[in-house]
Structure 1
């Protein structure tokens, strides 16, 4: 049975890595479960099989098994009511629909969908094709869908605010993750989806048992979370949060308090945003391999695990630089 439909909450989320056993052949499900529990305990929502989760490197059965592991880990840790957002992007419309249905069967509550990029040269500026793809996925999906706009992982396909606002009208669309680092785009989307006209229209067209007509605009990075929250964004899904989850949660909480009038909290949020912007750039700049290495080095051996080709090995000087540049941020994380 499909999971009960529920609201994706505001706040920060961690796109967890998919750890592989040495050699990268099999998923390390024990480490995956441990990482899910660690991030949930720090107050972050869980995203499985995003870009950081190497979804494109997994076979269909592996994807389903990873989602089931994440769901089971949450339930066993007492987070049985926690939502679980799963990346279900595939190489075609039908592949994406099939993966989304698999995700629902495995225990995901929401789907994160990116457009296939293989034929970007033919469709990069074909707004009709882009919109039709998402519309048909959302028509068929048993789960509420979050649009995932990441040109870097979609061969340069970049949805504009008009595309996203158009798709936001769909009754099965609940938000967008913007990994295009465009706060202006986010402002335009927030302005539209938080207007009385939109809320009235969306509220009257919701599918039965959907909780709310809210549409969430999330940043795909944590390095501008405070200013994004100030202009209507609801949170973020940030890979650096999976390394420093308590720090990201602290940034979100102090930002919200500060924007609601607590000057002391706002001042702390500004300082924290500077710290997070720096560490976010370091973590993201090192790629998935760097993220996994830092998890292994700072948190627990094998928590990040191996990765799969064509992602290449980290140079020893890169590893040492990551330790040196992030050690202060890790000490702060441990202090929380």
Structure 2
């Protein structure tokens, strides 16, 4: 197998999905969101990352939302914006099928969570075997998704990730663990032209870049794509002082999103400030009432950043 190339450096968004009052997919709102993100300059859109409620969707819904995202981008002149598909599942067999579906739906890469139903069974050898078997079968390059919060605490270390990086069809990792030491250990071993390491949170965007990352794939980009683009530009221009000031603001924004209700909160903030989408999530997640935002002290932090976003 010839070695696959990783995605380009930049800033990516694990996009939220919108539902109507019956918990059915709201395609007009999804379209509005995809286009606002693309106009905000994102390098790519991750469909069915953790913010996309992948585990709450049927296989058909997962495939249709990937295809709809790709179609929306193409029809509006954003052919260069990549689509990455989250293909995490609890069995190797289903994960392989989701990777094949992602390719058929127009995704360029897949992002694969480590299965976590049986944590005691997920030894290092078993984790490596799982990711290699998926990568062997996937018709498009795969990336590792390391997010201990949603994998029952399973946290892949730099040795495991570096071992997996030797596979010709495993081309990157999203580190939602926030561990900059781990990120730097990987980037110092493997060039980003062969294996791309992305910070998985906005509060590690600039620290990750300083440590050799390829950029970020972060939830806050749902609200602030242009500000993330601005920080990336400042870093490339070696304007580190301005970049650090903006990074501090994004760090507070990242914290605030976790305090306004997670995925439901992000949707409520979008609905209130960008004029599209309902706030519904699929249970057991909890929707956030837009009227409650004003009483949340963290919402003010987000409002200040959104005002800055709209000024760009």
- Partner of residue 165, structure 1: 162
Contact 2:20 2:26 in 1 (8 A): yes
- Map residues 265-280 of structure 1 onto 2, 5 A cutoff: 265-280=239-254
- Partner of residue 203, structure 1: none
Root-mean-square deviation (CA, aligned residues, Å) is: 1.6
- Partner of residue 55, structure 2: 56
- Map residues 134-283 of structure 1 onto 2, 5 A cutoff: 134-194=131-191, 214-258=194-238, 265-283=239-257
* 1:319 CA displacement: 5.6
Taking the aligned partners of 2:68 and 2:5, their CA distance within structure 1 comes to: 20
Taking the aligned partners of 1:76 and 1:300, their CA distance within structure 2 comes to: 22
- Partner of residue 206, structure 1: none
1:102 aligns with 2:101: yes
* 1:305 CA displacement: 3.9
Taking the aligned partners of 1:81 and 1:13, their CA distance within structure 2 comes to: 13
Contact 1:20 1:28 in 2 (8 A): yes
Summarize deviations over 1:126-183 as a string: whole Å, max 9, x none: 1000000000000000010110000111111110001000000000011000000100
1:325 aligns with 2:298: no
Distance 1:290 1:131, change over 3 A: same
Instruction: Single out whichever of 134-143 and 42-51 deviates more from structure 2.
Output: 42-51
- Partner of residue 282, structure 2: 308
Contact 2:257 2:265 in 1 (8 A): yes
Q: TM-score, normalised by structure 1?
A: 0.87
1:295 aligns with 2:270: yes
* 1:7 CA displacement: 5.0
Distance 1:91 1:319, change over 3 A: farther
1:42 aligns with 2:40: yes
- Partner of residue 112, structure 1: 111
* Partner-residue secondary structure (3-state), 2:50: coil
- Map residues 61-140 of structure 1 onto 2, 5 A cutoff: 61-123=60-122, 126-140=123-137
* Partner-residue secondary structure (3-state), 2:203: coil
* 1:66 CA displacement: 0.3
Contact 1:240 1:284 in 2 (8 A): no
Contact 1:239 1:284 in 2 (8 A): no
Contact 1:84 1:108 in 2 (8 A): yes
Contact 1:229 1:256 in 2 (8 A): no
- Partner of residue 209, structure 1: none
* 1:36 CA displacement: 1.1
Query: How many residue pairs align between the two structures?
Result: 305
Distance 1:59 1:68, change over 3 A: same
Taking the aligned partners of 2:242 and 2:15, their CA distance within structure 1 comes to: 27
- Partner of residue 31, structure 2: 33
Taking the aligned partners of 2:257 and 2:175, their CA distance within structure 1 comes to: 18
* Partner-residue secondary structure (3-state), 1:223: helix
Instruction: Single out whichever of 313-322 and 128-137 deviates more from structure 2.
Output: 313-322
* Partner-residue secondary structure (3-state), 1:14: strand
* Structure 1 segments unaligned to the other structure (5+ residues): 200-212, 259-264
Taking the aligned partners of 1:64 and 1:192, their CA distance within structure 2 comes to: 35
* 1:323 CA displacement: 3.6
Contact 1:290 1:314 in 2 (8 A): yes
